[in-house]
């Protein structure tokens, strides 16, 4: 098989890149380890920045989002039952976020891919990337017991944190930065009406909680849990009971509960791999960086990588400028580190770190006082609220030089 760009991974990064390249007449093949249905079964992000919304328009896959998605002008933070509304629209001069699930974005992209006629190889096993520093890189894998070989000019590693692309870069040619947090998020999806019009991020002595949503009839909730907790030991009833203790009392009193459609625990991690390019291989999205979910930046950072790589490859193939590839990593990393910092800061401010502090003997109460003062300052000053609003709606994408 022969293509211009081999894309490893058919999650949102790989599918969006494939669609944007196709629109520019650039041929690409996606190689994906699991099936399409398996990908659609993963419940992940729900909040899209304007930059991603614009990119979905550019890719020609925004119709359903514009009909079924909900624009949110604000977001709430609740600190020990005291509620603060961040008016995103007013504080940023007009910017908002779109509430539309990653699953739906992925479904729309899969439909567009089918219509485009570009090839996707699902259930590919033992994918390997070869000669990525040469002008003739290639990809091999097994499909239905048969070996497959794809010759290409560039490879986009869109294969997530556990993928093969990052590991293809020799250890002495990459540097990794990491922080693992001492707790996880237990998430529950239910066909119940959301408990509030806008999202509520809640900090309490019992730990963090988030009330999010997918539609007027589908809610998504999260609670902070110790890493030692097992999802099997959390009944739906236990989840709802704990959630109600962490959300503002009037919200909890009116909350509609119901059976879970999905329930899972996600660990929290900050991670960056530098650089994001090695020869003719580019790392995109979770393959290069992970953020803790507080602040909803994971999918949005993946999208800004895609926007940059799509512009770079368009310039290479349609503008004859091969040197554009050198701009990819520095442009992406500037925005990635900004998102990493914001997610780390929101995580620090909104979670209960008792366990970790107890372990290393730190003064728990002093830490708590600093964090309480920090959040109080940001939420009660207009300048502080502006900082949160500007970051939450997302910084603009940087253009190529």
Residue 37, Cβ neighbours under 10 Å: how many? 8
Instruction: Indicate which single residue of 39, 53, 189, 316 sits in contact with ligand FAD (rule: CB under 6 A).
Output: 39
CB nearer to ligand DHB: pick between 294 and 385 = 294
- What is the total residue count of the chain? 401
User: Given the rule CB under 6 A, which of 28-36, 39-47, 125-133, 164-172 is the region that contacts ligand DHB?
Assistant: 39-47
CB nearer to ligand DHB: pick between 164 and 290 = 290
Q: What whole-number distance in Å separates Cα of residue 292 and Cα of residue 340?
A: 8
47 binds ligand DHB (CB under 6 A): yes
DSSP-derived secondary structure for 49-106: -HHHHHHHHHTT--HHHHHH-EEESEEEEEETTEEEEEEHHHHHTS--EEE--HHHHH
Torsion sign across C-alpha atoms 292, 374, 204, 76: negative
User: Given the rule CB under 6 A, which of 3-11, 44-52, 190-198, 308-316 is the region that contacts ligand DHB?
Assistant: 44-52
Choose the one of ligand DHB, ligand FAD, none that binds residue 252, judging by a C-beta under 5 to 8 angstroms depending on kind.
none
If you search the block for the tokens 């989840």, which residue do you land on? 239
How many positions of this chain bind ligand DHB (CB under 6 A)?
11
Instruction: Indicate which single residue of 11, 14, 18, 46 sits in contact with ligand DHB (rule: CB under 6 A).
Output: 46
Instruction: Indicate which single residue of 5, 9, 97, 223 sits in contact with ligand FAD (rule: CB under 6 A).
Output: 9
> Which residue minimizes CB distance to ligand DHB?
46
Site string for ligand FAD, 292-331 (x = CB under 6 A): -x--xxxx--x-----------------------------
CB nearer to ligand FAD: pick between 74 and 285 = 285
User: Which of 278, 293, 311, 351 is labelled catalytic?
Assistant: 293
Beta bridge partners of 270: 179
Q: What whole-number distance in Å separates Cα of residue 101 and Cα of residue 107?
A: 10
**Beta carbon of residue 199, minimum distance to ligand DHB (angstroms, whole number):** 6
295 binds ligand DHB (CB under 6 A): yes
Q: What whole-number distance in Å separates Cα of residue 268 and Cα of residue 249?
A: 27
**Beta carbon of residue 148, minimum distance to ligand FAD (angstroms, whole number):** 12
**CA–centroid distance for 186 within its chain:** 17
**297 is an active site residue:** yes
212 binds ligand DHB (CB under 6 A): yes
CB nearer to ligand FAD: pick between 80 and 128 = 128
Choose the one of ligand DHB, ligand FAD, none that binds residue 313, judging by a C-beta under 5 to 8 angstroms depending on kind.
none
**221 is an active site residue:** no
**Beta carbon of residue 104, minimum distance to ligand FAD (angstroms, whole number):** 13
CB 177 within 8 A of CB 272: yes
Residue 394, Cβ neighbours under 10 Å: how many? 28
Beta bridge partners of 265: 186
Q: What whole-number distance in Å separates Cα of residue 182 and Cα of residue 379?
A: 26
Instruction: Indicate which single residue of 296, 309, 313, 388 sits in contact with ligand DHB (rule: CB under 6 A).
Output: 296
CB nearer to ligand FAD: pick between 150 and 195 = 150
242 binds ligand FAD (CB under 6 A): no
Q: How far is CA 89 from CA 72, 124, 261, 386, in A?
A: 9, 44, 33, 10
User: Which of 181, 201, 222, 278 is labelled catalytic?
Assistant: 201
Q: What whole-number distance in Å separates Cα of residue 391 and Cα of residue 5?
A: 33
**275 is an active site residue:** no
45 binds ligand DHB (CB under 6 A): yes
DSSP-derived secondary structure for 350-401: HS--HHHHHHHT--HHHHHHHHHHHHHHHHHSHHHHHHHHHHHH-PPPPPP-
Residue 133, Cβ neighbours under 10 Å: how many? 12
CB nearer to ligand FAD: pick between 8 and 195 = 8
**167 is an active site residue:** no
Segments of 117-234 assigned E as strands: 119-121, 125-130, 138-143, 146-151, 154-157, 175-190, 200-204, 207-215, 218-226
3-class secondary structure per residue, 275-286: CCEECCEEECHH
Strands 82-87 and 74-79: antiparallel
**378 is an active site residue:** no
Judged by CB under 6 A, the chain residues 275 through 294 that form the site for ligand DHB are 293-294
Residues at the interface with ligand DHB (CB under 6 A) = 45-47, 199, 210, 212, 220, 293-296
Residues at the interface with ligand FAD (CB under 6 A) = 8-14, 31-34, 39, 44-45, 102, 124, 127, 158-160, 162-164, 266, 285-286, 293, 296-299, 302
* Active site amino acids: 72, 201, 293, 297, 392
């Amino acid at each position: 098989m022969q293509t211009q760009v081999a894309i490893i991974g058919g999650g949102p990064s790989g599918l969006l890149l494939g669609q944007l390249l196709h629109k520019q007449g650039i041929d690409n093949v996606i190689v994906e380890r699991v099936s399409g249905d398996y990908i659609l079964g993963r419940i992940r992000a729900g909040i899209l920045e304007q930059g991603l919304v614009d990119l979905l328009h550019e890719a020609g896959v925004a119709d359903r989002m514009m009909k079924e998605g909900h624009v949110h002008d604000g977001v709430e933070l609740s600190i020990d039952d005291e509620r603060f509304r961040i008016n995103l629209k007013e504080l940023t001069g007009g910017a908002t976020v779109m509430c539309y699930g990653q699953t739906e974005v992925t479904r729309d992209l899969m439909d567009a891919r089918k219509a485009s006629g570009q090839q996707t190889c699902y259930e590919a096993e033992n994918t390997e990337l070869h000669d990525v520093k040469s002008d003739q890189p290639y990809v091999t894998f097994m499909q239905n017991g048969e070996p497959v070989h794809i010759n290409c000019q560039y490879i986009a590693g869109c294969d997530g944190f556990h993928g093969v692309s990052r590991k293809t870069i020799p250890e002495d040619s990459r540097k990794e930065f990491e922080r693992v947090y001492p707790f996880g998020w237990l998430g529950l999806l239910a066909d119940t009406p959301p408990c509030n019009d806008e999202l509520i991020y809640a900090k309490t002595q019992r730990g963090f909680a988030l009330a999010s949503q997918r539609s007027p009839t589908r809610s998504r909730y999260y609670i902070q849990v110790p890493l030692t907790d097992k999802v099997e030991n959390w009944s739906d009833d236990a989840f709802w009971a704990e959630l109600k203790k962490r959300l503002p009392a009037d919200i909890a009193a009116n909350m509609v509960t119901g059976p879970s459609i999905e329930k899972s625990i996600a660990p929290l991690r900050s991670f960056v791999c530098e650089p994001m390019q090695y020869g003719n291989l580019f790392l995109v999205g979770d393959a290069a960086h992970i953020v803790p979910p507080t602040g909803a930046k994971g999918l949005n950072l993946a999208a800004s990588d895609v926007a940059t790589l799509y512009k770079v490859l368009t310039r290479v193939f349609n503008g004859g400028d091969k040197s554009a590839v050198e701009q990819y990593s520095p442009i992406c990393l500037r925005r990635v580190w900004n998102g990493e910092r914001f997610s780390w800061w929101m995580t620090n401010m909104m979670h209960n770190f008792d366990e970790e502090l107890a372990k290393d003997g730190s003064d728990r109460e002093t830490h708590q006082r600093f964090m309480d003062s920090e959040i109080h300052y940001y939420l009660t000053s207009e300048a502080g609220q502006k900082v949160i609003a500007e970051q939450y709606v997302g910084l603009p994408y940087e253009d190529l030089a």
